[in-house]
Amino acid sequence: MLSLTDLPSPEAHTSQKHKPHDSFSLKPNSLNSVLHQPTHHPRTCLLIAILSLQVILLVTLRSLPFSRHHFSPHYAAVSVPIAAESGGRESDQCCSGRVFVYELPEFFNREILRSCDNLNPWSSRCDSLSNQGFGQPATALSGLVPENLVPAWYWTDQFVTEVVFHNRILNHKCRVTEPESATAFYIPFYAGLAVGKYLWSNTSTAKDRDRHCEAMLTWLGNQPYYRRSNGWDHFISMGRITWDFRRSKDDDWGSSCIYLPGMRNVTRLLIERNPWDYFDVGVPYPTGFHPRSDSDVTQWQSFVGGRNRSKLFSFAGATRGAIRNDFRGLLLSHCRDESDVCRVVDCAGSRCSNGTSAILEGFLDSDFCLQPRGDSFTRRSIFDCMVAGSIPVFFWKRTAYFQYEWFLPGEPESYSVYIDRNAVKNGTSVRGVLEKYSKSEVSKMREKVIEYIPKFLYAKPHYGLETIKDAFDITIDGVFRRFKEQEEWGYKWK
């Protein structure tokens, strides 16, 4: 598609076609000179003849039914995307790609939100899905965080990325409204919310858990741009971990959405990915901090960077009594035994649901934070910890290193500590390992964590921050880059 700067100017084109030529101008002085010539003079006769022909031609041309459109390019046939409407600067910013957002039937997104009272068997999720998915304002953090930053904090649920992404992408600078202009296609289906209501139901069937995804893929299969690429240039945010969509047998956990044929080539944004599936992309869990501006980010970085930390390490979590040799229980015991250097936040029950001031305070006061695997390999606490400027300590490499390549430094040792879980089970002291790091080493790692904080955040404005790229921006850039590479490498299967 031609950019606006490549098209000829309508004004220039009109002036060329409609501006009267000088030879058509009838100047009074010229006319008088002709009239005062003797009519029998050959020169006079010739001039009168030429003048008469010009008058006849001018009258004839003016009487023809020409319109301006006959002389102008057919601009109505040129699609002008949102990305180009503001001029060349935005157009240049979109050289890596442009995204088209499908207008799905409300059954796949808005209708799910409207049924927020029935999305899980225990309680309403309406509060957690309010404020465009950020949840309720975290006013209880007053006194713990800088007062002017309190309005940027919310009790955000960990399973809302599909709502957040949908709201942001509708306002993205490289969104286009004409699919022929797009290099990427976003599917705003709330897959995680749709299946979530059935995951803990004793009466739900496999058909219940697959219903929304199957219907969405039927709808998508009828779209010409999906059929053209077979899904290779399409992507979706699925607001849960990948394993919630990988049911292989009817009696197993979750839906089979990812295993359905129509999803085979679609890029999937998940808070936990399968490291061996190319189409899974890990994106950060949402935290409670949603900055309103660049200055919110830089102020927060300065705040956590200058924080006086009284504890060597902390752990926020709960035991899993049903799990044999529960490793989290082991860490809790270890932390309680080392209470002079470790701060415990016991999250038994639902005390830490969507975050509490105790969790943030614990991370703000600690140099390191222990991050074992959660119910799956990852946990939201990883990002809560790093947003607070605390250095994560991992015990499984799959907890972060194989998950969030677009968002974390390439050198794990530059921002984190890895202790093999089996070594801990066999008596290695976590305290002993962490105390070996010098103050300068701790300071250097913390600086790296703080440097990367913007990459873990989902900003509050729908259009993003002024100059700082947040997790959403990095994700979209990564998707554009991935789709471009797919075309260049030419390895796509059908």
Considering the chain, what percentage of its residues have pLDDT values greater than 90? 72
User: What is the chain's mean pLDDT, rounded?
Assistant: 84
- pLDDT for residue 318: 81
Written as one string, the DSSP assignment of 105-174 is -GGGTHHHHHTGGGSSSSS--TTTTTGGGT-EE-GGGBTTB-GGGGGGBEE--TT-HHHHHHHHHTT-TT
| Whether residue 90 has pLDDT greater than 80 | no
Q: Class assignment of domain 294-456?
A: alpha beta
- pLDDT for residue 5: 33
| Whether residue 186 has pLDDT greater than 80 | yes
pLDDT tens for 272-315 read 999 999 999 999 999 999 999 999 999 999 999 999 999 999 99
Query: Binning pLDDT at 50, 70 and 90, where does residue 120 land?
Result: confident
- pLDDT for residue 83: 55
- Mean pLDDT, residues 406-414: 97
| Whether residue 78 has pLDDT greater than 60 | no
**pTM for this one?**
0.81
Domain segments of the chain as ranges:
99-286+471-487, 294-456
Query: Binning pLDDT at 50, 70 and 90, where does residue 201 land?
Result: confident
Tell me how far apart the terminal alpha carbons of the chain are, to the nearest angstrom: 26
| Whether residue 254 has pLDDT greater than 90 | yes
Distance CA 271, CA 165 (A): 13
Range name among 4-18, 108-122, 194-208 with the lowest pLDDT average: 4-18
Distance CA 125, CA 115 (A): 9
Sole residue written with tokens 């709201």: 167
Considering the chain, what percentage of its residues have pLDDT values greater than 70? 79
Contacts for 91-96 with beta carbons within 8 Å, 24 or more apart?
91/3, 91/4, 91/5, 93/173, 93/174, 94/173, 94/174, 96/477, 96/480, 96/481, 96/484
Range name among 28-32, 408-412, 458-462 with the lowest pLDDT average: 28-32
- Provide the residue count of the chain: 494
234-237 sheet: strands from edge to edge: 175-176, 99-101, 184-187, 234-237, 267-270, 280-282
| Whether residue 178 has pLDDT greater than 60 | yes
| Whether residue 87 has pLDDT greater than 80 | no
**Half-sphere exposure of 39 toward its Cβ, with a 13 Å CA cutoff?**
1
pLDDT tens for 310-347 read 999 999 988 876 667 789 999 999 999 999 999 999 88
Return the ∠ at Cα 354 (arms to 352 and 358), rounded to 5°: 45
User: Coil, helix or strand for 79?
Assistant: coil
